[in-house]
Homo-oligomer: A and B are copies of this chain.
Amino acid sequence: MVTYSHIKDAQERIRGAANITPVMTSRTLNQKVKGEVFIKCENLQRVGAFKFRGAYNAVSQLKDREKSRGVIAHSSGNHAQALALAAKIAGVKAVIVMPKWSPKVKVNATRDTYGAEVVLCENTIEARHATAQALIDKHGYTLIHPYDNDNIIAGAGTAALELLQEIKDIDTIIAPVGGGGLLSGTAIATKGFDSNIRVFAGEPKNVNDAYRSKEAGKILTNDSIVSIADGLLTNLCDRTFAIINEKVDRIITVSEQEILEAMRFYWERMKLVVEPSGAVSLAALLSGKVEPARGRTGIIISGGNIDLGSFFQLLEQKITPSS
């Protein structure tokens, strides 16, 4: 199992490559919850999400033989871009398997901005696995899983560690949970730093597998996978479940409406672009289910990658007559 010292090692390893992201505060938010809230802005991390921490930590620990062959991931999300950039920095080839329906802007960013080879496949999870496996068999690529991987988890934990090192006397930390990589790393970092600090998770009610799994003491999966928080649709794996079961104090589920309200608070009041998944920790705090909310709460924004096309189309229409 990943330990606190692995996370401290990861922090040294990613120094200089990853951003030390800012911690933001809001007077309005503090008044709202009658406490002090410290927001760790991983939307301002490289590639716009905490995922870069784990990806860089994983790639930089590959053996030379693995590096010379390259890495592979099947993902259409933030992990893909994070792995592509981490590999690019390390001079390692990256191959990303993406479903055909992936937005062109994501395919292009992964290929052009981050220099990865993109392989498109059919739109099923099975096809993604099979396509990746065939490429691994043929070329000897190393699969970097988005969360079922100790180095990924240790890297993810560095966000909470940075927050705890910068802000003294945090009472509670809240992170979102999907596959459980960020939450696992956060829990290990936090309990290692000070075992009295409470570790809470925010999870969409619509995909509450982590909540139900923790209640049941075994991994349960989601029947539906419909949530605006598209980064949190995945199920836990044995590795993350074991950590979460042991170290996370509580999982708080939130409605789609609560996620949207938290997101709106970030955008309108704090001027931060946060993706729906990234707003789930704040949604948990604002839901009133964190008792007591008083004291000092650390909130992790996981990312800020959201398609703004429709919004900018509206603005384009505004300028067309006059420009």
A residues engaging B (CB < 8 A)? 22, 24, 27, 41, 43-44, 46, 48, 206, 224, 226-228, 255-257, 259-260, 263-264, 267-268, 270-274, 276, 304, 308, 310-312, 314-316, 318-319, 321-323
From DSSP, what is the main secondary structure of chain A's interface residues?
A: helix
Contact of A271 among B27, B260, B273 (CB under 8 A): B273
CB within 8 Å for A260 and B310 given contacts A271-B272, A272-B272: no
- As for how many copies of this chain the complex holds, the number is 2
Q: How far is the CA of A109 from the CA of B227 in the complex (A)?
A: 31
Residue with the greatest number of chain B CB neighbours at <10 A, chosen from A41, A264, A315: A315
- Are A322 and B271 touching (Cβ within 8 A)? no
A312 near B273 (CB under 8 angstroms)? Answer: no
Which of B44, B257, B271, B318 is A323 in contact with, Cβ under 8 Å?
B257
Q: Which residue of B lies closest to A109 (CB)?
A: B268
Q: A257-B319, A260-B316, A323-B255 are in contact. Are A271 and B228 (CB under 8 A)?
A: no
By beta carbon, the residue of chain B nearest A315 is B260
A315 and B267 within 8 A (CB): no
Q: Name which residue of chain B comes closest to A41, CB basis.
A: B271
11 A-B pairs whose Cβ atoms sit less than 8 Å apart in the complex: A22-B22, A41-B271, A227-B322, A228-B318, A255-B323, A256-B323, A257-B323, A259-B319, A260-B312, A271-B304, A272-B272
CA distance A224 to B264 in the complex (A): 34
Nearest CB in chain B to that of A105: its residue: B268
Which residues of B lie under 8 Å from residue A24 when comparing CB positions? 44
Please list the 4 inter-chain residue pairs (A to B) with the smallest Cβ-Cβ separation, ordered nearest first.
A256-B323, A256-B319, A271-B304, A271-B273
Q: A322 to chain B: closest CB distance in Å?
A: 5
Q: Which residue of B lies closest to A270 (CB)?
A: B44
Contacts of A48 in B (CB 8 A): 271
| A264, B322: Cα distance in complex, Å | 19
Q: How far is the CB of A275 from chain B (nearest CB, A)?
A: 9
Distance of A271 Cα from B271 Cα, bound (Å): 8
A311 to B48, CA, bound (A): 20
Q: Across the interface, do B206 and A322 meet the contact criterion of CB distance under 8 Å?
A: yes
The answer to whether A323 touches B206, judged by C-beta atoms less than 8 angstroms apart, is yes
In the assembly, what is the distance between CA of A206 and CA of B320, in Å?
12
Residue contact A271 to B44, C-beta cutoff 8 Å: yes
Known contacts being A267-B308, A311-B310, is A319 close to B260, with CB within 8 Å?
A: yes
Contacts of A22 in B (CB 8 A): 22
User: Which residues of B have CB within 8 Å of A311?
Assistant: 310-311, 314
Pair A322/B226 contact, Cβ less than 8 Å: yes
A228 neighbours in B (Cβ, 8 Å) = 315, 318-319
Pairwise interchain contact B314-A310, C-beta atoms closer than 8 A: yes
Are B256 and A322 closer than 8 Å at their CB atoms? yes
